[in-house]
A = this chain, B = another copy of it.
Amino acid sequence: MAEMFKTLASWLTTSGIKIIGILIALAILSQMSRWIAKWMEKIVYEKDPLQASEAKKRANTLGNILRHAFLIVLTFVAVLMILGELGIQLGPLLATAGIGALAVGFGAQSLVKDVISGFFIILENQYRIGDAIEVAGVSGLVESVSLRKTVLRDLQGKVHTIPNGEIKVVSNLSKEWSRSVLDLGINYGEDIGQIHELLVQIGKELESEEPFKTAILEPLQILGVEKFDESQIIIRMMVKTVPLKQWDVGRELRRRIKIRFDEKGIQLPYPHRVLLWGEPFSRINEK
């Protein structure tokens, strides 16, 4: 009896202490996970304080899910370790868990990818709410950015939800300034010099009238003859604008070109065909 008590005492002073140690260590790890989350949140918030309130709510939602999942895993580990301390062979259990882990790990990797990708999007400030971007084959105005996903809305009102891990090349159309590039086709018969003058004049008028005066950052630049096309000469011109104003300015420019060309009697080019007469086909057949 005494021996049994002694054994128990001995067990308590070794394994018992260890079990307590396990519980303490887990508590520390649990706390560490919170610090990591806080630290990531802080970086995110510092970058973009305006989004903070909305982002905070979302981040908390995601954070809570991840924390609860983590808690379940920790409890699972704690049970296993205590079983281990009680001297039970855990080999089969661990091997089985490993099998599951393989499947889950592969399945979950895209989630991890999303979070890493999202972290750099926010950290490097690649785009923010209100920007016009093109990513992963869709484009639109950014409605929200979170660690896991980006939400865009395009002109047709479609809401695109893109997991950040799917985003490779980000094309931002509204960083500091935008530009409207216009490729204008004219007939081969036209005088390039005259057209050039006319375009310069149209550009000047545009820059002097509101609301385009404030939208245009640099005067209209006419680059020149970009291409000899099948039935037309392509003249390229471009104008630098305030972000997101490139489409308005471009449309106005096109409208004014159309009106001015009509006034001057300059025709925009249709496709041309040169026709040559061969012999009547039926006569050939009769040969």
Q: Which residues of A contact B (CB under 8 A)?
A: 14, 18, 21-22, 25, 28-29, 32, 36, 39, 43, 61, 65, 68, 72-73, 75-77, 79-81, 83-113, 115-116, 120, 123-124, 126, 134, 136-138, 148-149, 153, 155-163, 165-166, 168-173, 175, 177-181, 184-185, 187-189, 192, 223-228, 230-231, 233, 236, 238, 240, 246-248, 251-252, 254-255, 258-259, 265, 267-268, 270-282, 284-287
Contact = CB atoms under 8 A, between A and B. Distances in A.
A267 B251 contact: no
Contact of A277 (B94, B258, B281): B281
Given A112-B108, A273-B273, A267 B80 contact: no
Contacts of A111: 103, 107, 116
Given A170-B160, A230-B271, A274-B276, A224 B252 contact: yes
B101 A98 contact: yes
Given A87-B14, A268-B188, A138 B274 contact: no
Contacts of A277: 274-275, 280-282
